[in-house]
Homo-oligomer: A and B are copies of this chain.
Amino acid sequence: MELKEKQLKSEQIYKGAIINLFLDDISLPDGNTAKREYVRHPGGICVVPVTDEGEIMLVRQYRYPYGEEVIEIPAGKRDSADEDPLEGGKRELKEELGITAEKFISLGTFYPTPGYTDEVIYMYAAFGLTFGETDPDEDEFVLPEKIKLEKLVDMIMAGEIPDGKTQAAVLKVAHLLKNTDS
């Protein structure tokens, strides 16, 4: 079965500082038409910083859409579509936690919610950390958190870490290190 949906018409509803909203008319595989409303986003990067003692460095941040503080791995949007994702990861790690790292490992990409956004988040793990000064964005306020990997996995399994990219990336790191050790 052919699954492809074809664009018939595309209308930009909103052009924002970060997100752009579109409403498109499409044709379905059965020939009928439908609407698709979705966000275009420049894409993001996130990094799991692993200390030599097996701790994960995180940030606590107020997330306005949820009206609550959320604990996440350091992350941010790409400066532009031209920015190399790994360079973006190094930048976010420095900005939010003041960390530079000797070694980065790719953890693949992450589509946050494919029904209505085109955002691609590039995921990395970072090792060999050096701690220095942070360099936060002017409208961004974050507090550092440090949690042992085993404890963080337990928190994820207990539903205490709702952020999706943090769940996926930290479980990947746990899987990776377990298979490296054995």
Task: Say how far A132's CB is from chain B's closest CB, in angstroms.
Answer: 20
Residues of B within 8 A of A175 (CB): 153, 157, 171, 174
Residues of B within 8 A of A55 (CB): none
Complex contact B69–A3 (CB within 8 A): yes
Give the bracket for the number of chain A residues in contact with chain B: 35 or more
Would you give the 0/1 interface string for A149-171, flagging 1 where the beta carbon is closer than 8 Å to chain B? 00001001111101111011001
Complex contact A37–B62 (CB within 8 A): no
Asked if A64 is an interface residue, CB under 8 A from chain B, the answer is: yes
With A13-B13, A21-B14 known to touch, is A5 a contact of B62 (CB < 8 Å)? yes
Q: Tell me which of B3, B35, B112, B172 contacts A112 (CB under 8 A).
A: B112
